[in-house]
Structure 1
Amino acid sequence: MKYRQTAVLLATGLGFALAGQARAQDTVLLYGLIDEGFLFNANAKSDRQYQLASGNLQGSRFGLRGAHDLGAGWSTIFILENGFNLNNGALGQGGNLFGRTALVGVNGPVGSLTLGRQYELVGEYIGGYTSANAMSQRVGVGQWASAYGAHPGDVDNLDATNRLNNAIKYVSPAFSGFNVAGMYSFGGVAGSVSQNQGWSFAGAYNGGALSAGVAITHVDSPNYAFFGNNPASNTATSANASNMSSPVYSGYASAGSQQILAAGATYVFGKATVSAVYSNVRFNDVGAVGGAGLNPGNLHGAAVFNIGEINATYRVSTPLQLGVAYHYTHAKSPNDVSARYHQLNFAADYGLSKRTDLYAALIYQLARGIDSTDKPAVAAVYAITPSASDHQLAALVGVRHKF
C-alpha cells in the first residue's frame, strides 16, 4: 500500500513538473498602452483648435506577443499589435485590426527571421535618436516630445508612421555591441516583381553610454506602398487617390520611388542625454506614377529633403525628465524652389509609477519658402491641422499608462 501511494505521489509530481515545463516553454503576453491628452493648436487654418487627442507620446494599442521554445536556443515568435483611437474607439492604421504589427518568425543563435507587416529599419533603428520616437535604441523615456515633435510630415519616417507590408526581415545577434538587419517587402502586384516593392538595411552599435546607427530604406510607388491608406494591400487603393496629405510633400505623390538615408547617435553624460540625427530623403522620378490628381504641379525630376536634429534630456529627479530639441528641414522641389522648416520642441515627463506618467509638451514651427504644392510654405506640425500662415504653436498635456 505504501509503495502504491508513493508511486501515485511520484506520478502526480512528475505530471505537475512536466506541465510546468510546458508552460515555461510557451509564453503568450497580452500587453498594451493607453495614451490620452488635451491638445491646443493655436493656428489650425487660422482658427484655434481644442481637442482630446489619443496616442500622443505613443500610439494607444494592445497586442499579443508570444514565443514557443524549439530547443537548442531556437524559438518561434509572433506579434499581433492593434492601434486604436481612445476617443471614439476607431481602429488605427487604415482600419486594420492588427495594423501596427502582424508577424511570425523564428529566433535563434544566428538571429531572427520574421514575416508579415513590420516596421522598416530607418524608423526602427534611427527614429529612437529623435525626440519624437519611442523605439528601443534610445536611452530614457523616449518620444518625450510627442508625435507632434516629429520632422515635418514625418517625411523621413523617423516617427515610424509607415510600415512595410508583405515583408521578410532578418536581424542579427549583437557582437560586441554591433548588430545588422535587412528586410525586403514584396510588391504583390500580379505580373510584376518590382512594382511597389521596398527594401531596407541598418546597422547599430550599443555600448554603455554611446549608441549609434545608420539605415537606408527604398520604396517604389511610395504613395501606394508606403503612405497608402489601406494597409491590407500594397496596391493602389484608387488610381486617382493621393495618400500623401501633408503640404510638405503632397505635391510628390506621383514619385516613382522614395529613398531615406538616416544616421543618429546618443551619448549619456550622467543625468543628461544628448542625441543628434541626420536624414536625407529623395522622392525620385516625380511624375512617373500616373493617375489624375497625383501630379497637380506637373513636376518631373527629384525632390530632396535634408533634415538635421539635435536634442537633449535631463533627469532632474527619479520621476522627472525635461527635454528640448531643435530640427531644421530644407526641402528642394524638382522645379528648383525650396522650403525651410524650423521647429522647437520642449517637454516634461513625470513618472507616477513604472507604468504611468504625466507629460506636457510645447511645439513651435516656422516655415519659409515655397512648398511641394508650389505655394508659400505654411507651418505644418505633424499629425495636426496645418496652419494658414508660416508659423504654428501646439501645446499638449496628458497621461500615459502601460499594461
Structure 2
Amino acid sequence: MQKTLIALGLAAALTSFQAQAADVTLYGLVDYGLSLQHRTPVQGESDTTFKMNSGMNSGSRFGMKGTEDLGNGMKVGFVLENGFSADSGAMGQDGRIFGREASLTLSGDFGQVSFGRLGPVVGDNGTYALFGAAVSPFSCGWGDVGGHLQVTALGYEFIDNTINYRTPNFGGFDVTAQYSLGTDAKNYGEGVEGKTTVERMGAIAARYRAAGLMVVAGVETINWAQPAAGDTKLDDAMSLNLAGTYDFGVMKLYAYGQYFQDYQKAAKTTTFSVASGVDGFGINLGADVPAFGGTVKMGVGYGDFEGSRDSDLSMDTIQATLGFTYKLSPTTYMYTAGNFIKANYSDKYEAAHPDAAERICEYIVGMVHKF
C-alpha cells in the first residue's frame, strides 16, 4: 500500500512537472569541420595548418527556452543558451555556462522588453542581432577567413547586463534599442557596473521588411572603461551601419556597409589594432543562388582602416569567399567554402607587427546537425 501511494505521488509530481514544462523546448546545434589554411606573414616563412574545428559555419550550442501566457495578450519567456566547442567539449564564451544568451522577456502589444546577457543589435548572434546572417551570406564567418567581420570593426560577440526593447511591427517597420550597464562582468576588475570604470554600450537599429526586401540601419556606441581608455587616449567608439537584402527567388543579394571611429580592433583574422583607437570603413557584398540541389554562396569585402590618432598606421584588405551548402535532411546539412584574404599594411605598421598576416587562403568542409 505504501509503495502504491509513493508511486502515485511520483506520477502526480511528474504530471505536474510536464504540465508546467509544456512550453519549454530543449534545442541545440553541433558543427564539426576540417580546415586547411595557408598563411603568409609580412616577414618570415609561410605556414600551413590542418585541423578539426567546431563552429566554422554555426557556433555549436545547447539551450532551453520557454514561454508562459500571462493573459491579456502578455507573455513571459526565457532563453538559456550554452556555447561550447564540439571538438573538445570545452565551454565557450570565457567559460560561462549560458554564454550565448541568458535572458528573460516580457512581450505584449507594447512590444518586447528583455533583460540579461544578449547578442548585440549591431552584431551577429542572438535573439536581437540584426547584422549577421540577415545581411551577409557568410554572416560573421565561415572558418577563419569568410564573413563580413574581416572588413568591419570588431565589437562584441555577446554583452552582459543588457536591457533591450523592440517595438511592435508597424507596416513592416520595427525599432530595437539596447543598453548594457557593463559589457563583460568577468573583466570588471575594480570597476563597478553602471559606472565609467567599466565598458558600457548602447545601440539602436531600425528595420524595414516587405516581400523580398529587407533594409536595416543601426548605430552603436561604446563607452570604454576609465581610466584605462584615458591613459591610451582612446575616445568613446561609434559605428554607423547600413545593410539590405533582396530575394529575387532565383537569387538573393546582400549588401552591408559600416563606418566607424575609435574601436580597439578591426578585421577578424588579419586583425588591425592600435591602442589609441582605429577608424575606418568596410563594404561587404554577397549572393545566394540555389543550384546543384543546394545553395551556392558568394561574398566579397573591402576594408580600409587607420589609427585614430596616427594615420601612418594603416591597413586595407580585400576578402573573397565562395561556398556551398547541401541539405541531407531538414535538420542536417553539409557545407564547404574556399576563402581568401589579402592585406596591405603601412610601413610603420609592418615594422611594429612583422608577424601580421599578409595573405591567407583557407579551405573548409563540415557538417551541421540541429536538434
Match of 2:131 in 1: 126
AA matched with 2:114? T
Match of 2:257 among 256, 278, 294: 278
What do residues 62-103 of structure 1 show as CA deviations (whole Å, max 9, x unaligned)? 001111110011111110100000111111011111111111
Residue 151 of structure 2 contacts residue 284 of structure 2 at CA under 8 Å; is this kept in 1? no
Check if 1:202 corresponds to 2:202.
no
CA–CA distance in structure 2, aligned partners of residues 271 and 390 of structure 1: 36
CA–CA distance in structure 1, aligned partners of residues 311 and 331 of structure 2: 49
Match of 1:363 in 2: 339
Q: What secondary structure does 1:190 align onto?
A: coil
Residue 139 of structure 2 contacts residue 148 of structure 2 at CA under 8 Å; is this kept in 1? no
**TM-fit CA distance, 1:258:** 2.4
Change (3 A) 1:67 1:147: farther
Change (3 A) 1:253 1:153: farther
Match of 1:94 in 2: 94
TM score, norm. by length of structure 1: 0.74
Q: What secondary structure does 1:94 align onto?
A: helix
TM score, norm. by length of structure 2: 0.80
CA–CA distance in structure 1, aligned partners of residues 59 and 322 of structure 2: 20
**TM-fit CA distance, 1:110:** 1.2
Check if 1:267 corresponds to 2:267.
no
What do residues 294-345 of structure 1 show as CA deviations (whole Å, max 9, x unaligned)? xx97x65x5212000110110115x400011110000021211221000001
Match of 2:157 in 1: 162
**TM-fit CA distance, 1:377:** 9.7
AA matched with 1:269? F
Q: What secondary structure does 1:122 align onto?
A: coil
Match of 2:113 in 1: 113
In structure 2, stretches of 5+ residues that fail to align are: 1-14, 124-128, 186-190, 266-272
Aligned pairs (5 A) from 1:318-333: 319-333=293-307
Match of 2:10 in 1: none
Aligned pairs (5 A) from 1:27-38: 27-38=23-34
Aligned pairs (5 A) from 1:209-224: 209-221=212-224
Match of 1:173 among 146, 168, 178: 168
Residue 271 of structure 1 contacts residue 316 of structure 1 at CA under 8 Å; is this kept in 2? no
Q: What secondary structure does 1:305 align onto?
A: strand
AA matched with 1:325? G
Q: What secondary structure does 2:350 align onto?
A: coil
**TM-fit CA distance, 1:23:** 4.1
What do residues 245-292 of structure 1 show as CA deviations (whole Å, max 9, x unaligned)? xxxxxxx98734322221100011122001110011211699xxxxxx
Residue 255 of structure 2 contacts residue 285 of structure 2 at CA under 8 Å; is this kept in 1? yes
Residue 27 of structure 1 contacts residue 68 of structure 1 at CA under 8 Å; is this kept in 2? yes
Match of 2:35 in 1: 39
Aligned pairs (5 A) from 1:1-400: 23=19, 27-43=23-39, 46-123=46-123, 124-127=129-132, 128-133=134-139, 145=142, 148-151=145-148, 155-157=152-154, 162-187=157-182, 189-190=191-192, 193-195=195-197, 196-221=199-224, 255-283=234-262, 300=276, 303-316=278-291, 319-333=293-307, 334-337=309-312, 338-370=314-346, 374-375=349-350, 389-400=357-368
Residue 339 of structure 1 contacts residue 377 of structure 1 at CA under 8 Å; is this kept in 2? no
**Aligned residues with identical type, % of pairs:** 26
CA–CA distance in structure 1, aligned partners of residues 232 and 75 of structure 2: 41
Please tell me the root mean square deviation across aligned C-alpha atoms, in Å. Answer: 3.2
Residue 132 of structure 1 contacts residue 147 of structure 1 at CA under 8 Å; is this kept in 2? no
Q: What secondary structure does 2:122 align onto?
A: helix
In structure 1, stretches of 5+ residues that fail to align are: 1-18, 135-142, 225-234, 243-251, 287-295, 379-385
Residue 301 of structure 2 contacts residue 320 of structure 2 at CA under 8 Å; is this kept in 1? yes
Change (3 A) 1:74 1:154: farther
**TM-fit CA distance, 1:369:** 2.3
Change (3 A) 1:220 1:129: same
Match of 1:3 in 2: none
Residue 207 of structure 2 contacts residue 216 of structure 2 at CA under 8 Å; is this kept in 1? yes
Change (3 A) 1:314 1:164: same
CA–CA distance in structure 2, aligned partners of residues 285 and 254 of structure 1: 11
CA–CA distance in structure 1, aligned partners of residues 117 and 151 of structure 2: 19
AA matched with 1:129? V
Change (3 A) 1:284 1:31: closer
What do residues 143-184 of structure 1 show as CA deviations (whole Å, max 9, x unaligned)? 7x4563124557535xx8522211100011111111001011
AA matched with 1:394? E
**How many residue pairs align between the two structures?**
329
Residue 317 of structure 2 contacts residue 343 of structure 2 at CA under 8 Å; is this kept in 1? yes
CA–CA distance in structure 1, aligned partners of residues 223 and 107 of structure 2: 29
